[in-house]
């Protein structure tokens, strides 16, 4: 996970290829390794772009790690895209599926914006192509009247297309991809001659994402499944790595907003312990009733950022543990009333076993705000 804009940026979110343009340029200058046709970087350089250079300077630039905890999966994903099989990234909400999809597209194709956002309202025209109806009525179906969609442009340019939340689309929309993934051809039957068949250029491929919470919304057909390699992204289980990521990204978000403060390591560590115990439904050797909501690392970043921002904007001194609990309610409880009880059970356990610890005692002072 990574923040989306630089301090002082005039936009809220930059695509990965713009946000990390300096790193991509450095890797292109350094890269001399074998490169698949149509790729802007070699697989080795793509891996370094996503997983970082461990402090080593490459092309005059240290490459920052952007994905934590799924290194082998990242390597398999890169190899999949180097062939002619599509890639599907599945996982719980907040496991950085979309981020990995974006980073792969930015590194391999130089653009991450050839994207379809899947939903019940997604239609063919939003994926393949549509028509300029003024030109269509005047001249009939001609190449000039055709308005290429993300799939058409990706095939024409030899680039990666991203299909977010593919299982939220009706099956018949998903299955538009089957002939494209099989034959690497997009038929345009309205046109005659050469324009009636678009052959994909080297480098074209598909990255789809699917949320495990949406499994069963629109089950994928077996034909489409056979044309995709499935990779399941897991939540971060390493508390040290998660703490490093949460602290770094919260600090980056604060800097982007001009907030001149940074999270204290002790506060971050407390938050990570809290999240990991609630996520794993176990604390102090006691099994807990699991929450209905997934507590993602992205949500931990948001809780820490919110506590810091409250202190900056509303005053009251530096944020303490109680402010974490103040902002945790909207993350844990959401629209599930039973989660309030489950969180209460966890806090009672903490109160009975950790009340001698000043940090945990301070945290429990925020319980009245829930």
Q: Please check whether residues 303 and 356 belong to one and the same domain.
A: yes
Query: Whole-angstrom Cα distance, residue 25 to residue 147?
Result: 31
Query: Whole-angstrom Cα distance, residue 255 to residue 262?
Result: 8
Number of domains in the chain: 2
Interval 133-150: pLDDT, tens: 999 999 999 999 999 999
* Residue 216 forms part of a structural domain: yes
Q: Please check whether residues 244 and 272 belong to one and the same domain.
A: yes
Q: Please check whether residues 127 and 43 belong to one and the same domain.
A: yes
Torsion (CA) 133, 136, 141, 146 in degrees, nearest 10: -40
Give the structural domain span for 34: 16-233
Q: Please check whether residues 323 and 229 belong to one and the same domain.
A: no
Interval 268-279: pLDDT, tens: 999 999 999 999
Q: Please check whether residues 246 and 117 belong to one and the same domain.
A: no
- Lowest-pLDDT range of 12-16, 95-99, 155-159, 365-369: 365-369
Interval 70-86: pLDDT, tens: 899 999 999 999 998 99
Q: Please check whether residues 213 and 181 belong to one and the same domain.
A: yes
Give pTM, 2 decimals.
0.89
Interval 224-281: pLDDT, tens: 999 999 999 988 889 999 999 999 999 989 988 888 888 899 999 999 999 999 999 9
Interval 14-42: pLDDT, tens: 999 999 999 999 999 999 999 999 999 99
* Residue 8 forms part of a structural domain: no
* CATH number of the structural domain spanning residue 220: 3.40.50.300
Q: Please check whether residues 219 and 270 belong to one and the same domain.
A: no
Q: Please check whether residues 245 and 227 belong to one and the same domain.
A: no
* Residue 356 forms part of a structural domain: yes
Q: Please check whether residues 152 and 48 belong to one and the same domain.
A: yes
Q: Please check whether residues 172 and 305 belong to one and the same domain.
A: no
Query: Whole-angstrom Cα distance, residue 42 to residue 40?
Result: 7
Q: Please check whether residues 108 and 86 belong to one and the same domain.
A: yes
DSSP β-ladder status, 160-164 and 205-211: parallel
């Amino acid at each position: 996970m990574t923040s989306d804009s630089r301090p002082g940026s005039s936009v809220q979110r930059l695509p990965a290829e713009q946000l990390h343009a300096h790193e991509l340029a450095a890797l292109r200058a350094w890269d001399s390794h074998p490169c698949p046709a149509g790729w802007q970087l070699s697989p080795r350089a793509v891996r370094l772009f996503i997983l970082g250079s461990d402090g080593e300077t490459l092309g005059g630039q240290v490459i920052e790690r952007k994905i934590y905890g799924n290194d082998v999966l990242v390597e398999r994903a890169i190899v999949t895209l180097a062939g002619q099989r599509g890639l599907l990234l599945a996982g719980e909400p907040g496991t950085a599926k979309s981020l990995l999809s974006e980073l792969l597209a930015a590194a391999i194709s130089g653009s991450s914006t050839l994207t379809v956002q899947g939903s019940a309202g997604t239609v063919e025209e939003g994926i393949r192509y549509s028509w300029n109806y003024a030109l269509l009525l005047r001249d009939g179906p001609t190449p000039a009247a055709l308005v290429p969609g993300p799939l058409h442009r990706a095939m024409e340019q030899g680039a990666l297309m991203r299909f977010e939340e593919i299982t939220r689309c009706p099956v018949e929309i998903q299955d538009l991809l089957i002939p494209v993934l099989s034959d690497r051809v997009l038929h345009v039957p309205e046109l005659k001659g050469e324009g009636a068949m678009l052959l994909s250029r080297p480098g074209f491929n598909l990255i789809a994402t699917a949320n495990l919470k949406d499994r069963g919304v629109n089950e994928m057909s077996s034909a489409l499944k056979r044309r995709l390699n499935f990779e399941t992204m897991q939540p971060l289980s390493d508390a040290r790595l998660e703490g490093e990521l949460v602290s770094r990204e919260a600090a980056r978000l604060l800097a982007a907003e001009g907030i001149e403060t940074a999270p204290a390591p002790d506060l971050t560590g407390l938050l990570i312990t809290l999240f990991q115990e609630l996520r794993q439904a176990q604390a102090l050797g006691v099994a807990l009733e699991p929450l209905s909501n997934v507590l993602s690392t992205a949500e931990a970043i948001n809780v820490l950022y919110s506590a810091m921002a409250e202190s900056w904007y509303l005053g009251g001194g530096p944020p303490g543990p109680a402010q974490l609990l103040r902002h945790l309610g909207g993350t844990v409880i959401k629209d599930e009333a039973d989660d309030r009880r489950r969180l209460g059970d966890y806090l009672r356990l903490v109160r009975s076993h950790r009340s001698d610890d000043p940090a945990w005692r301070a945290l429990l002072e925020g319980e009245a705000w829930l």
